[in-house]
A and B are shown apart, each in its own frame.
Chain A
Amino acid sequence: MKKIITIIALLGSTLFADIAVVTNPSNGVGSLDASQVKKIFMAKTKKFPNGKSVVTIDQNTGNDAYSTFYKKIAGKSPAKMNKYWVKLTFTGKAEAPKKVGGDSDVINTIKSNPNTIGYIDSSAVTGDVKVLYTVK
């Protein structure tokens, strides 16, 4: 019974963890709303609201952050996201964000590329990145 409770607690913590949408503090972007986040990550726009170009980066497909993020912002499972990108890729319209790894890889990539945007578990946020939106 204890085990089950622990498992449920663990599942709960991963399923309901907040996800922070982050960028490099130097690019001057203030904050984003849910719809702007969705448009950027679904490749509907290639610019931040301030007109600067944006490069999206993804966590690896198997990460909890990946499935939670896209379920919340677009209502899509990893399998549906994959089909979404296949259609866009092979018509040449847009390409899927580059998969860089986990939370720390996202932070490291953003540190060295001012126009990148990614998402990480809110508990992993450091001073190297600026939070633009929190997916709850």
Chain B
Amino acid sequence: MLQLLNIKKMKKSILSLVTISLLSSSLFAGDVRVGGFINVVAGINDMDNSQKDIISGYDDKINFQAHSLAGIQFNADVANNMGAVVQLIAQKSDANDDIRMEWGYVSYDVNDEILILAGRVRPSLFLYSNYLDVGYAYTWITPPSEVYYQAQITNLDGLNISYDLELEDSTISLNIYGGNSSGEKINPADNTHLDFSYDNIYGTELSYTNDYMKIRAGYINALATQNPVPPYPAEIVFDDSKAQFYGLGISVDYEDILFASEYTIRDMDETVAPDVTSYYAMLGYKMGDFTTSYTYSVADSDMEFSTVADLSVAGMVNGARASQLDDRTTNTLNVRYDLNSAAALKVEYSMCTKTNSSFNGTTTLTEKDEDINTLSVALNVVF
């Protein structure tokens, strides 16, 4: 702090010497506030490495890396109605530590009702999208993957405009955003990486919030492109393919009762990625510093068979489509213990029944159920 003050003093004297009035405004812009969060998460399931669960990243050896991360956020006031926020997240990804910017925007308060964010923002796709990485803020270790895994877009570069109408004891908010984004996905067939880009993203969210409840409805639309294109027939290649999500959600935090439920539909133009309907319901009860919750979550996907006359092409298309089918039902039990006002310890046990689909070369799908039991433990801290 002392050093900072000295730097400020030094800057001031340098500035007064050269009298650059333009720069001097930054001296009076106030300080930069720093905060952050850390999730230390370990998980294990009963699948051997060859059948590793792609969604959780776990197998039968304890894994501390798949879901652990650290985030740091800087907030600054640029002017009376203008602020800047940067949130960086460091997480293990493949062989390297990956640092990415989740939030990075300039905010402008038009008035108490209208707020404009320009830069990198998180689209409000789901109930918990805006603080997905801040494990401390919700009761699970990760929100139900049946719903949250359906969207690869976690942030976009563009604009977000929100309008908040304050009523006596509640708020009605309308959020509109647009921009573009790019991301990476692991191809489950051969573990190679596929780059995705999403253009012409636009979406909206309407929500009602009071002291103990939030109800929301959201919609997002984007054009998806995949690169490099794997050696697939044109039928199953993403190239400006329309992707749409619809979502409804409710969360309640009333006295000692917690409840949350979401329902989402993913609608893909191209059929290599199936249309998915997913939902969950969570009920929790607080006893002092302990919160116990049970969650039931489902993802249900649909496949259309290829009608291409060439049987070898049809076989390849249908095989690729079948490998993308994602049907899961999970029962999750979670206990959260609030160690203090900034740290929570969580233990979670989930039992997932996953349906593996394969195409047998004719026109029928072979489905085989597989059970995955996962135990995970997390320490979530905010500072």
Contacts and interface: CB of A to CB of B under 8 A. Distances in A.
Answer yes or no: are A and B bound together in one complex.
Answer: yes
A82 interface: yes
20 contacts: A35-B169, A39-B166, A44-B166, A44-B171, A45-B112, A61-B341, A75-B211, A79-B341, A82-B342, A86-B131, A87-B134, A87-B137, A89-B75, A90-B71, A90-B73, A90-B137, A91-B122, A92-B75, A92-B83, A95-B33
Interface string B102-124: 01010101001001010000100
B107 A92 contact: yes
A45 B166 contact: yes
B323 interface: no
Given A78-B341, A86-B136, 9 more contacts: A74-B211, A75-B211, A83-B137, A86-B131, A86-B137, A86-B382, A87-B130, A89-B73, A90-B87
A35 B167 CA distance: 10
Interface of A: 35, 39, 44-47, 53, 61, 74-76, 78-80, 82-83, 86-87, 89-93, 95
A44 B168 CA distance: 11
Contacts of B112: 44-47
A21 B122 CA distance: 36
B85 interface: yes
B88 to A, nearest CB: 12
Contact of B341 (A75, A82, A89): A82
A41 B342 CA distance: 20
Interface of B: 33, 35, 37, 71, 73, 75, 80, 83, 85, 87, 103, 105, 107, 109, 112, 115, 117, 122, 130-131, 133-134, 136-137, 164, 166, 168-169, 171, 211-212, 253, 338, 341-342, 382
Contacts of B137: 83, 86-87, 90
Contacts of A80: 253
A90 B134 CA distance: 8
Nearest to A82: B341
A55 to B, nearest CB: 11
A82 B73 CA distance: 17
B37 A90 contact: yes
Contacts of B109: 46
Nearest to B171: A44
A50 to B, nearest CB: 14
Contacts of B33: 95
Contacts of B136: 83, 86
A79 B342 CA distance: 9
Contacts of A53: 80
By CB atoms of chain B within 10 A, which of A47, A61, A78, A83 has the most?
A83
A75 B136 CA distance: 21
Contacts of B85: 92
Contacts of A75: 211-212
A72 to B, nearest CB: 12
B87 A76 contact: no
Nearest to A39: B166
Nearest to B36: A90
B131 A76 contact: no
Nearest to B253: A80
B172 to A, nearest CB: 12
A87 B131 contact: yes
Contacts of A82: 341-342
> 6 shortest A-B CB distances, which residue pairs?
A92-B85, A91-B130, A90-B134, A45-B112, A82-B341, A90-B131
Contacts of B75: 89, 92, 95
Nearest to B105: A92
A53 B77 CA distance: 14
B188 to A, nearest CB: 31
A89 B211 contact: no
B37 to A, nearest CB: 7
A80 B139 CA distance: 13
> Which of A44, A53, A83, A92 counts the most chain B CB atoms within 10 A?
A92
Contact of B73 (A46, A79, A83, A92): A92
B185 to A, nearest CB: 25
